Amino acid sequence: MKKKLSIGKALLYGILVLYAVITLVPFIWAVSSSFKTLEEIVSGTINFIPRNFTLDNYKQIFLEQELFPRWLLNSLIIGVAGTSLNLLFNSMAGYALARLSFPGRKTLFIIILAVLMIPAQVTMIPNYLILRELGWLNSYQGMIVPAMINATFIFMMRQFFINFPKELEEAAEMDGLSRFGTFFKIVLPLAKPALAAQAIFVFMGFWNDFMRPLIILSDPSMFTLPLGLNTFKGQYISYWNYIMAASMVFTLPVLLLYGFFNRYFIKGISFTGGK
Amino acid sequence: MKKKRTYSKRSLREASQGYSFMAPTIFVLALFIIGPILYAFFLSFHKVQLLGTATYEFVGLSNFTNISDDSRALRALWNTFKYVIIVVPIQTLLALILAATLNAGLKGQSIFRIVYFLPTLTSSAVLTLIFMWMYNQNGLVNEILSIIGLPTYNWMGDPSVALIAIMIMNIWATAPFFMVIYLAALQNIPDSLYEAAELDGANAFKKFIYITVPNLRPVTSFVIIMGLIGTFQLFDQSFIFSGGSGGPDNSTLTVVLLIYQYAFKSLGTMGYAAAIAVMLSIVILGATLLQRKFSKEESLY
């Protein structure tokens, strides 16, 4: 009996390790390629440890492609501004839907639930035309404003605030705080865990988005990193050492974010997973 | 009387607070979501010209009827259909197996979880580039295949395997996301069920089939909906893989890539693109609603 159990265990470990290897190999290969020289890249041998370890690729992408720092900056500006606005507006909307009674609240809530089911493709072309009318193509606001709220996270914040103790707000009101004062000084600071989970996902959404920037941004100096990478690939077709180095620079911020906020991450996913 | 007045004043104030809290949301909903949905329907009945100011010419249903005569549209539909039918079941099954294995209470669980999660964190652009590098003619994938004595392929250049290459990549990239969803659900299955089964002499496999799988049914239906929605919308990977063309020989052309091409890369076909987008949205919406109807759980949201 005991032996059988340990065979089962070994099998389970086998599955886990095998899949870990399958997951890791592409990343290790990418990291290793980013430290290789071009000769080693084109030679086509499989060695995960670079023969002539070099940092040149990282230097070159910043020197040769003078727009690379600009793309990084664009991505950061859009990601940070977009995430901040989302945190603020989604929380405000979630709070209003959970706490305040006003005519049309139910309708708005149903609309927000319905929006969750609408695929982005149907609004993609009209949004382009609207942004074109506004003169917002190739602009930060064109990337940020249409995405400064998110139905999923409005819904999440509403659930959060419904379970939030009312007494705190009542006490704050007795102390003479206005509704906005209560919201910003009492409610939001206590919503940090929900905000953290939201922040990671919204930031990742902006940071990794490919289709929206592809449609909205055509001026290379306004590109975000995913678009820049795609351009890069076109320019340096077989320079996979450069392409991999640029990819790694692009991936690092999200990995750091994940490192810091790991536990909120799982929370956020299990929420989007309908919990 | 006086009391009633203060009450209504209070509720008036609360209503105005409600609207100010909702204002940004209402603004974006109206201008960038609801408005555009109506606009999309309008566009789909028109021929749109974008030289200078946009002009619209009403063409009735012809944008919709043209789809069936358009060989590229049919090809894109077929590719997308193949992609959905193959990717959704495999990624769902893989996610379930990984979650169940991770949940078996082995040591080092959290490390495996972190590792598995890497693809979810990485952008589709980066993942596609990494895989393109591995799919290269003398790249890692072919080297490994030839070492273990399997045939090698021209993954990106051969129309018969290019879509399969994207399928493999995306199953690899999305299964871990769904695994986390399964994992959360697994932890909610009461231990007493397993204990009872053990008393009845059930082995691990039987417990998985008769307790785990049925208890996960609502989550599975959620995972399938999300999978369907995601796979129907395949775009980034096809675009980067083929440099925007959907090639080689239209083998990686998906519906969304086709919409993009007709809307933004050729003149005068924006209305037609909108019509395809409307059709796609109806299909996705239909799939979502059907799945919800079949799943016993009333609503997961």
B36 touches chain A (CB under 8 A): yes
Q: Closest approach of chain B CAs to the CA of A230, in angstroms?
A: 7
Residues B107 and B231 in one domain: yes
pLDDT at B55 exceeding the cut of 50: yes
Last residue of a domain, one of B40, B63, B86: B63
- B49 and B83 belong to one structural domain: no
Q: Which residue has the higher pLDDT, B188 or B299?
A: B188
Interface of A with B in 86-145 (CB under 8 A): 88-90, 92-93, 95-97, 100-103, 105, 108, 111-113, 115-130, 132, 145
Answer yes or no: do A208 and B123 touch at CB < 8 A.
yes
> What is the residue-averaged pLDDT of chain B?
89
Most confident segment among A194-198, B161-165, B188-192, B217-221: B161-165
Q: Would B299 be classed as within a structural domain?
A: no
A274 vs B19 pLDDT, higher one: B19
State whether B74 and B43 are in the same domain. Answer: no
Phi, psi values for residue B269, rounded to 5°: -115, 20
Residues B90, B136, single domain; the answer is yes
Q: What is the DSSP secondary-structure string of A69-120?
A: HHHHHHHHHHHHHHHHHHHHHHHHHHHHHHH---TTHHHHHHHHHHHTTS-H
Task: Say whether pLDDT at B230 is over 70.
Answer: yes
Q: Does residue B74 share a domain with residue B46?
A: no
Q: In chain B, which residue's Cα lies nearest the Cα of A180? A: B17
> What is the per-residue pLDDT for B300?
42
Q: Please indicate if any CB of chain B lies within 8 Å of the CB of A230.
A: yes
Interface test with B, best of A102, A141, A224, A233 (most B CBs within 10 A): A102
Cα of B166 to nearest chain A Cα, Å: 14
Same domain as B186, residue B49: no
Whether the upstream peptide bond of residue A50 has omega within 30° of 0, thus cis, is no
On chain A, the residues whose CB falls within 8 A of the CB of B84 are: none
Q: Residues B192-208: what's their mean pLDDT? A: 86
Instruction: Determine whether the interchain pair B35/A273 forms a contact, defined as Cβ–Cβ distance below 8 Å.
Output: no
B287–A contact, CB cutoff 8 A: no
Higher pLDDT, A7 or A153: A153
Range list of H helices, chain A: 2-34, 38-43, 56-64, 68-99, 105-115, 120-134, 140-144, 151-162, 166-174, 179-182, 188-190, 192-208, 211-216, 225-235, 240-272
Give the three-state DSSP class for B55: strand
Are the beta carbons of B140 and A46 separated by less than 8 Å?
yes
Q: Is B300 a domain residue?
A: no
Q: With bands split at pLDDT 50, 70 and 90, how would you rate the model's confidence at B200?
A: confident
- How many domains, in total, are found in chain B? 2
Q: State both tokens at A168.
A: 């705190």
Average pLDDT, chain A: 88
Which among B22, B29, B106 has CB closest to A96?
B22
CATH architecture, domain A54-272: Orthogonal Bundle (1.10)
Q: How far does the CA of residue B85 sit from the closest CA of chain A (Å)?
A: 19
**Residue A85 Cα, gap to closest chain B Cα (Å):** 10
Last residue of a domain, one of B63, B80, B96: B63
> CA B294, B299, B301 angle in degrees (round to 5)?
135
Convert the pLDDT of each residue in A26-50 to its tens digit.
999 999 999 999 888 888 778 888 8
Give the residue-averaged pLDDT of A45-63.
Answer: 88
- CA B187/CA A168 separation, integer angstroms: 32
pLDDT of residue B6: 56
Mean pLDDT value across residues B20-48 = 95
CATH number of the domain encompassing residue B232? 1.10.3720.10
Q: Enter the ipTM.
A: 0.89
User: Does residue B164 sit in the same domain as residue B217?
Assistant: yes
* B55 in the same domain as B204: no
pLDDT for position A267: 64
Is the same domain home to B55 and B86?
no
Question: pTM of the predicted model, to two decimals?
Answer: 0.90
Q: What is the pLDDT of residue A89?
A: 97
Mean pLDDT calculated for residue range B279-292: 84
SS3 B243: coil
Q: What is the pLDDT of residue A271?
A: 57
Q: pLDDT (tens digit, 9 = 90+) per residue, B60-108?
A: 999 999 999 999 999 999 999 999 999 999 999 999 999 999 988 788 8
pLDDT for the residue numbered A273: 44
Average confidence (pLDDT) over B265-280: 94
A188 in reach of chain B (CB within 8 A): no
Chain B CB contacts of A249 below 8 Å: none
Among A8-17, A178-187, B102-111, the range scoring the smallest mean pLDDT is B102-111
Query: How high is the pLDDT of residue A227?
Result: 94
Say yes or no: B77 and B153 in one domain.
yes
How does pLDDT run across A210-221, given as a tens digit for each residue? 999 999 999 999
Assigned domain for B231 exists: yes
- B128-157 residues touching A, CB cutoff 8 A: 129-134, 136, 138-140, 143-144
pLDDT at B139 exceeding the cut of 60: yes
Residues B249 and B105 occupy one common structural domain: yes
> Is A144 a residue whose pLDDT tops 70?
yes
Same domain, B152 and B174: yes
- Candidates A12, A18, A23: best to mutate against B (most CBs of B within 10 A) is A23
Give residue B29's domain range: 2-63
pLDDT of A2 > 60? The answer is: no
Structure token pair of residue A55: 């940092």
Q: Is the confidence at residue B299, as pLDDT, over 50? A: no
- Long-range contact list for A106-113, CB < 8 A, 24+ apart? A108/B22, A108/B25, A108/B26, A109/A158, A111/B29, A111/B34, A112/A151, A112/A154, A112/A155, A112/B25, A112/B29, A113/A151, A113/A155, A113/B301
Chain B positions touching A230 (Cβ under 8 A) are: 125, 239-240
Confidence (pLDDT) at B91: 96
B7–chain A Cβ distance below 8 A for any pair: no
